[in-house]
Homo-oligomer: A and B are copies of this chain.
Amino acid sequence: MSDSDRILATYDVRSTPEEVAGLARRIAYEQTVELPPALVTDPVVCERVLGRVETISSLDSGGGGHPPPGPDGASHRVTVSYSGELANGQLPQLLNLLYGNVSLYPGVALADFSLPPAVAVEFAGPRFGVEGLRRLTGVHGRPLLATALKPRGLPVAEYARIAGEFALGGGDLVKDDQNLVTDFAGFRERVLRCRDAVEGANVRSGRRCLYFPLVSAPLESIDLHFDLVQAAGLRGVLLCPAVLGLDTVRALAARRGLVLMGHPSLAGGLARGMSLPLLFGTLFRLAGVDISVFPDARGRFGFDAATCAAIRERLAAPLGELAPAWPCPAGGLPFDGLGAACAEYGPDTVLLVGGALLGHAPRVEDGTRAFAEGIAGCFPGHRIEPAAREEPPAGPEFLPFRPEFEWGGRESAPYRTAAADSDPAPFRGVRRVELVGRFGEPTGSDLRYFEVEAGGHTSRERHVHSHIIIGARGEGRLVTGNREVVVRPNDVAFLPPLEVHQLRNETKEPFGFFCIVDHLRDRPLPA
């Protein structure tokens, strides 16, 4: 791997000129081999694993374009490079590599990093980004106006009223407050009623205001919440990347066709050891956030204007093949700060106004209109495309059974695996019909039908995912590590993880069975 394929990490450290070289070397060891130098002798480890100190400079001599993130009194900037392979193309490991253990060093903050193309390409980033959200809203050439449903504790009807009035007044995006946490029934009621209010307003306005509910739930029910959001026809959600974990966000971005709006809750803890533009710009975007909410300098969190500008730049800067994401300054933007915010952030910005908008006029619709007109006035060339017709959601799918164990709408295929060319052939005389799971269905389980001809057999294999088998036709033998049973129609077998198994047909008639597996599953291992 060449030097241009290395990850560069920049740390701002508190040290003395005499000790900084030693500290830099300790960082390089800590983040890679985590052993004293005397024990690091393996040449492969030294060449391919050990980090390298690239540069050390005094912070007095001027470093990056934004103030050092801390620690207080940082004196030097140290750059360490790591082999790109060490990130494994995985976000948790990238975080671990860049800042895992040295996050515990008292005087070391992560100021910046850069990824070589071969590493950046492993990250998909925002699914929608700037262009995707413009398509969904139909708004071009100006910032989007967003608000939050708050405070917690109001009846659902009140949130729905605010959302509907905001949409009627010309708002573009209304999201839940990050505190609106309830049980699933409460979530369902809020999602459906706010959706109805916004969609009702859209019918009247001809516009496409979006509603993004907050998904904050125990991990076990995150998918359930996303399922409901998608089934309800909504196009995005609000979530808190620092609370959920950045990789949970990345996985949701990859798996769901939804706009992800990232709220900064809890991120301030991380940000004390990390530069703010790096966290809210680069890292949130790597995790797939389409809209990154952060405190505007005019608000109540004490961010400075240079930091906000650097966050905006990071969200749009070239980064592998990643789409640019939206900056979303928030946290107390006042009405009279609107013009300045428009000038500073430019058109590709979501302006999130909560309390100031709700308190601007007795009716939310009027407050929204005032803000919307304020923004529109700053961008005379903007345009709004009328709402397009949505495709109806997919309905149920029915696959009628046909003679000879075929199904309408599905094709039968000979069974193939990567090992099919090996000798002796690991399977013989097997055909497969993929019934559910390979056709974009939102399913947790896949259903397949396998048929083994007379004298044939499946591969002898094992895998971590479990199997459920239901006999369907004829008679075959299920052979496992320590057992052999005959499978006839409607017999059921459960194969636990890593159980070796093979299905054999020693009769003169076809032997068919249904096989149910997890939709996300591992590849078979040799037995």
Residues of A within 8 A of B (CB): 26, 30, 32-36, 38-40, 42, 44-45, 48-49, 70, 72, 86, 88, 90-93, 95-97, 99-106, 148, 150-154, 177-179, 181-184, 188, 216-221, 224, 227-228, 230-232, 240, 242-245, 247-248, 250-251, 254-255, 264-274, 295, 300-303, 331, 354-355, 358-359, 393-401, 405, 407, 435-436, 441-445, 447, 464-466, 468, 470-472, 478, 480-483, 485, 488-499, 501, 514, 516-522, 525
Contact = CB atoms under 8 A, between A and B. Distances in A.
Contact of A273 (B33, B216, B240, B269): B269
B33 A151 contact: yes
Given A445-B445, A516-B447, A302 B105 contact: yes
Most-contacted residue by chain B among A103, A269, A447, A468 (CB, 10 A)? A269
A146 B509 CA distance: 58
Given A220-B251, A247-B244, A522-B224, A496 B184 contact: no
A239 to B, nearest CB: 9
A500 to B, nearest CB: 10
A58 to B, nearest CB: 22
B36 A359 contact: yes
20 contacts: A34-B354, A35-B355, A36-B355, A45-B153, A48-B153, A96-B266, A100-B179, A100-B240, A104-B295, A106-B301, A219-B245, A243-B245, A396-B480, A401-B490, A405-B490, A442-B497, A443-B494, A444-B518, A445-B468, A445-B518
Given A245-B244, A514-B470, A100 B35 contact: no
B32 A268 contact: no
A228 B152 CA distance: 42
B398 A216 contact: no
A266 B95 contact: yes
A191 to B, nearest CB: 11
A231 B498 contact: yes
Contacts of A359: 36, 38-39
Given A359-B36, A481-B395, A269 B272 contact: yes
A216 B45 contact: no
Contacts of A105: 268, 301-302
Contact of A443 (B152, B254, B447, B466): B466
Given A224-B465, A401-B490, A468-B516, 14 more contacts: A33-B153, A34-B150, A88-B183, A101-B178, A102-B268, A104-B301, A184-B522, A224-B522, A227-B464, A227-B497, A231-B496, A266-B270, A272-B273, A399-B491
Nearest to A435: B492
Most-contacted residue by chain B among A70, A86, A497 (CB, 10 A)? A497
Contact of A399 (B97, B179, B219, B493): B493
A395 B496 contact: yes
A497 B228 contact: yes
A496 B396 contact: yes
